[in-house]
A and B are shown apart, each in its own frame.
Chain A
């Protein structure tokens, strides 16, 4: 392939990805009743946890972060991005069951672009969630010493986390093609969330969970988010967070592309 053709190809695929991202977002917006829970449920749980467990700050070893809501909001962002990833999987499964997916496949579109379009669309939703949840936390008295830079880094981590979740959702949806299976995965969002130090510092988790959380990449992402927001390496390493998030994106997107190839072959 000559350089010119390659450039044209890259440009074409870029346009395809943008178009698919737009479509993913537009359809999600129109099915607001499906998208809305991924914004409302985390807020609901945030409200319950921030108010119901804030006495935890009196526990010995609980890091002092000013307001408690500021500490737990990172877990809320994780929950939102996981739900958004699940929604992406559900959207793909309903595209497959509805037949729209076959039309996409019959278009001269790179298979990876189809996955990427969906992943980027979800990343945008992840950013929107992070902005909303952080604003709510600020409104309820949170204070982020990390400042603008810390908040920006946290939002970037949210975007990566949403991308990884979308990759995972897409991989499962493409592999199974079953809408009802995707809908039944809902409780597993909470499994992933609860085996990370989403709302409590890792040292204060129950011992079993503390052990499990070591292998959960979400643990490092949520800690990285706290590290960035509070500009505190004691709370978490921002670099480790980005490494875990980026690694998860690469892994899950590769899985999704592989599942796509398997679907096209069968």
Chain B
């Protein structure tokens, strides 16, 4: 790509990212639902299932340490999915037509929502991590652990955003919103959400090892779960899973974008 091409790409990317930030800054309480719902889920699950940490062989003696990375991932996924729902709204309102009728390269047009997802997810993820620190024993994984938790969450918000964009481009209607978020919910919870692999029973014991989110969770849990100590072995499967999901949903989103004029 030529220098001017790069400058152009950067300019469009920056402009679309700024627009997504404006939305955060100017809608009062716009982030509340995506923050509140995972927080309620965190506290509720903690209250219901908190005694699970007494199971023999559970990798931490603090159930909240087990749950916080899950809730961070859930929040990041919802924040990413929400950008898909917003794209559906933009399509319905005709705003997306304006972008489509400009000469901007097509992939740049979905860069806006993806970057919005990255930005958006930072708020709920940080709030939940802070709540976890107040209630729980602390960060056992040190700086590396925190970095891995944020990397997992941010990357997962990109995956969820690309999934949402794919559905939004296909349905072109805001009604697709719940479907996007339910998909995120299923992906997050059909994993080692509540207990580690050895404690899973029945079909989940079969399914969870095949769910990439299981490995993303493991990567993020290096931050708070003492039994998952920071190590490359606990990191690379998560990175691989994230890379695979970004590639898969990225391709699906681009394919759907190419079909948008049909």
Contact = CB atoms under 8 A, between A and B. Distances in A.
Contacts of A205: 47-48, 50
Nearest to B44: A194
A56 B51 contact: yes
Contact of B55 (A40, A41, A58, A200): A58
A52 B46 contact: no
Interface in B125-144: none
A44 B49 contact: no
Interface in B149-201: 175, 178, 182, 185-186, 189-190, 192-195, 199-201
B49 A199 contact: yes
Given A48-B194, A50-B202, A190-B41, A59 B51 contact: yes
A245 B51 CA distance: 28
A86 B37 CA distance: 16
A161 to B, nearest CB: 18
Contact of B47 (A45, A52, A184, A195): A195
A74 to B, nearest CB: 13
A193 B48 CA distance: 10
Interface string B30-72: 0001001100110111111111101110000000000000000
Nearest to A45: B189
Contact of B48 (A41, A59, A200): A200
What size tier do the contact residues of chain B reach?
A: 35 or more
B232 interface: no
Contacts, number: 99
Interface in A44-82: 44-45, 47-56, 58-60, 68
Contacts of A145: none
A266 interface: no
Interface string A28-45: 000001000100110011
A55 B51 contact: no
A256 interface: no
Contact of A59 (B33, B41, B45, B55): B55
Nearest to B45: A194
A52 B175 contact: no
A44 B194 contact: no
Contacts of A33: 175, 178
B195 A52 contact: yes
Contacts of B33: 184, 187
B189 A55 contact: no
Contacts of B195: 52-53, 55
Given A48-B190, A48-B193, A194-B40, A53 B49 contact: yes
A204 interface: yes
B202 A54 contact: yes
A2 interface: no
What size tier do the contact residues of chain A reach?
A: 35 or more
A157 interface: no
A51 B48 contact: no
A234 interface: no
A209 interface: yes
B40 A52 contact: no
B41 A206 contact: no
Interface string A178-199: 0000001011001101110111
Given A48-B189, A205-B48, A206-B50, A55 B36 contact: no
Contacts of B48: 194, 197-200, 205, 209
Given A48-B194, A51-B202, A187-B37, A56 B49 contact: yes
Contacts of A44: 182, 185-186, 189
B87 to A, nearest CB: 19
A243 B125 CA distance: 42
A187 B190 CA distance: 20
A208 B46 CA distance: 11
A41 B179 CA distance: 11
B122 interface: no
A51 B43 contact: no
A131 B185 CA distance: 25
Contacts of B49: 53, 56, 199-200
Residue with the greatest number of chain A CB neighbours at <10 A, chosen from B41, B189, B203, B205:
B189
B45 A52 contact: no
B199 A206 contact: no
A197 B203 CA distance: 25
Interface of A: 33, 37, 40-41, 44-45, 47-56, 58-60, 68, 140, 184, 186-187, 190-191, 193-195, 197-200, 204-206, 208-209
The 9 A-B residue pairs whose C-beta atoms are closest, nearest first, are: A194-B44, A51-B204, A209-B47, A55-B199, A52-B194, A206-B50, A54-B201, A48-B189, A187-B37
Given A56-B55, A58-B56, A206-B46, 8 more contacts: A44-B185, A44-B186, A51-B200, A55-B52, A68-B201, A194-B45, A194-B48, A195-B47
